[in-house]
Amino acid sequence: MTNTAENANLCGLNRKDFQTTINGKKTDLYILRNRKGYEVAISNYGGAICAIMVPDKDGNVANVVQGFDSIQALMETDEIYRSTLIGRYGNRICKGRFTLNGKDYQLATNDGPNHLHGGNKGYNLRVWDARQMGPRSLALNYTSPYGEEGFSGEVKVTVEFTFTDENELVIEYLATTNKKTIICLTHHAFFSLAGIANPTPTIEDQICQINADFYLPIDNTSIPTGEVLKVEGTPFDFRTPKAFGKDIDADNEQIKNGSGYDHNYVLNKREEGELSYAAKVTEPVSGRSLEVYTTEPGVQLYTANFCSGKVGQHGATFPRRSAVCLECQHFPDSPNRPYFPSVVLRPNEQYKQKTIYKFSVER
């Protein structure tokens, strides 16, 4: 990894490799650096997090997020959601259909029979307007026009990333609309706490805890059945810490439906919208840990069950189950489940959520 004046950063990424023009909008790479010298690298193409450089228990710094090393790699990958911003609707909507204000909407069915992550060209494939606000903060803005991907309303979205001196990546989302619509934003970061490599190690020995007594079971197309079930006595019980690998291949219908973990957890909350502890993952060899806090009612646990070893940044490869995603969000298929927390956004209202990913070391 060479460090030149143009490329003096821990992640070894060169801004020039991320600079091009797409439909008249310029892409770039933005480095957030805290006072400890650690870094987060973000592209305004899809809000992709390309690197999170944090230390292990011995002080060795590695990239703990699966990313790409050029704008071409980002644009040409067929794993288009890897470590990007997701919208207008994160996760799945059954058959792409919902009714709002008495009107039926039909969205793209881009995941088998269902709608996934905003459609054929969601927020992950858009060039956002970027403004770096000092060394530790970046604001991304995008105006989603009326009718984009079949959704109603023009939606103006701002996502702010801040990397604190405590190695917390804080993501704050704001959105407004001029017409009643639905919205569910999240970030689909693929975390590999051992550090990306060739091949990136499996997450099966990593220890996870999730602050949830209930989860949402799914059918064989990954749509919630509508039930809200206790985790107790199931492979989905992470109330006390355990390794992902303990039950990830259990003889269980829900595990088989997700090919592992790909389920939404109902987070324990004292009140709606409070910023509270959601989950923790620890990598036992490096000692790195990740704590998650969010205002959202749910977190989607995904253990990269469908990844296939594609090449990413600096020649790293990303095999099956080499990452964990903890996508803080509202529940899948909420527009069709009126008893789920509402995803409706009205004019004169503000969509607002906050998620914190805190990296630390356990010795």
Q: What pLDDT score was predicted for residue 2?
A: 35
Tokens of residue 219, six digits: 């059918």
Could you state, in order of their start, the residue ranges of all structural domains in the chain? Answer: 203-361
Fold of the domain spanning 203-361: Beta-galactosidase; Chain A, domain 5 (2.70.98)
- 330 catalytic, yes or no? no
Cβ-in-10-Å burial (0-12, 13-18, 19+) of 237 comes to middle
Whole-angstrom distance, CA of residue 61 vs CA of residue 167: 13
What radius of gyration do the chain's Cα atoms show?
Answer: 19
| Per-residue pLDDT reduced to its tens digit, 318-341 | 999 999 999 999 999 999 999 999
Compute CA 141 distance to the chain's CA centroid, rounded to the nearest angstrom.
17
**pLDDT band at 241, cuts 50/70/90?**
very high
Mean pLDDT for 237-258 is 98
Mean pLDDT for 290-319 is 96
Strand partners, 21: 26
Q: What pLDDT score was predicted for residue 8?
A: 74
Residue with tokens 């109330």: 239
Report the chain's mean pLDDT, rounded to a whole number.
Answer: 96
- Does residue 4 register a pLDDT over 60? no
**pLDDT band at 245, cuts 50/70/90?**
very high
Instruction: Say whether pTM exceeds 0.85.
Output: yes
- Does residue 7 register a pLDDT over 80? no
From residue 16, how far is each of 29, 129, 137, 294 by CA, in Å? 8, 18, 20, 34
Mean pLDDT for 199-203 is 98
- 327 catalytic, yes or no? yes
| Per-residue pLDDT reduced to its tens digit, 66-102 | 999 999 999 999 999 999 999 999 999 999 999 999 9
- Does residue 46 register a pLDDT over 60? yes
Instruction: Give the rounded percent of residues in the chain with a pLDDT score beyond 90.
Output: 97
Of the residues 291, 296, 327, 330, only one is catalytic, namely 327
Of the residues 115, 117, 187, 188, only one is catalytic, namely 188
Q: What pLDDT score was predicted for residue 258?
A: 97
End-to-end CA distance of the chain: 28
